[in-house]
Amino acid sequence: MKPLLETIDTRFGTASKHAFSRGNTLPYTGVPFGMNYFVPQTSNQEGSWFFDPHLPIFQGIRLTHQPSPWIGDYSWLLLTPVTGQISGDSLFHRQSSYDMDKASFQPHYLNIFSLRYQIENQLTPTCYGASIRLEQKQGKALSLYLHAADELTVEQVDKRTLALRQEGKTETNKNPLILFTSLKMNTDILAISQEGEDWRIDLASSHAEIQLATSFISPSQALLNLPQEDFEGSKASAQKDWENLLHRFDIIETGEADRTFFDHCLYRLFLFPQTFL
């Protein structure tokens, strides 16, 4: 019998369009009431409807704060792992495809295999960020594109650490909302280059584990918020956080489908409001 979290497919209720609402949700991977959630992006042409469960396109993993497409997103960041040189500077030129049936969309774990670049993309969340594991199956060196709607700057702190700053205006704040992000790699950074408004990070290895954390306070706070555990440790902690909430209910089952539906709805109950630090 599968563990409870592995029976929850976060894509449930995500088949929505601007003209036809069917759930209006996103397949969030995160911890309960976390500061950020992480969603594979399939299109940048549909506004807030940036994920389509029926579209096998992979533009990257999006750090998001969007509770509903009708509300919109803020301080979002798209991370796209690639290999080699890209012919153009748009998301269309760097996007890949993935096998929807083989992907894992779980509350505490995301696994997407990029067919174009032959990269396994794994992510497990923490309260303030995530641990990301990338593996290029042919031994080619990894690169990472960073894309945001806000003005984005990237500073190299040391040979394995980056400090990101993105400043965005909102309709409800007079002052810009600034998100600070820290990225710490377990492999050396070979080069950083700006391509248009996006950034490309070239890494020294075909395998990489990236620790990510954010803060609305300061760069130093983002650095302090970095995961203290490795990928497997972070995954076990996220699983424990979810199970502590999901196992609080005793359910009289009338069928497997009923239980799966209940567990999925229960998972969504513990997503918002979000931590803000």
When comparing pLDDT for 221 and 254, which is higher? Answer: 221
Cα separation of 130 and 170, whole Å? 25
**Tens-place pLDDT, residues 77-108:** 999 999 999 988 899 999 999 999 999 999 99
When comparing pLDDT for 129 and 252, which is higher? Answer: 129
- Residue 276 counted as domain residue: no
Q: Name the average pLDDT for the chain.
A: 93
pLDDT exceeds 90 at position 4: no
Q: What is the CATH number of the domain that holds 43?
A: 2.70.98.10
- Domain residue limits at 14: 4-269
- Residue 225 counted as domain residue: yes
- Residue 157 counted as domain residue: yes
- Residue 277 counted as domain residue: no
- Residue 44 counted as domain residue: yes
- The domain tally of the chain equals 1
pLDDT at 266: 92
- Residue 102 counted as domain residue: yes
pLDDT at 224: 97
- Residue 275 counted as domain residue: no
Q: Is 30 exposed, middle or buried (0-12, 13-18, 19+ CB in 10 A)?
A: buried
pTM of the model: 0.95
**Tens-place pLDDT, residues 18-65:** 888 877 889 999 999 999 999 999 999 998 999 999 999 999 999 999
- Residue 274 counted as domain residue: no
pLDDT exceeds 80 at position 174: no
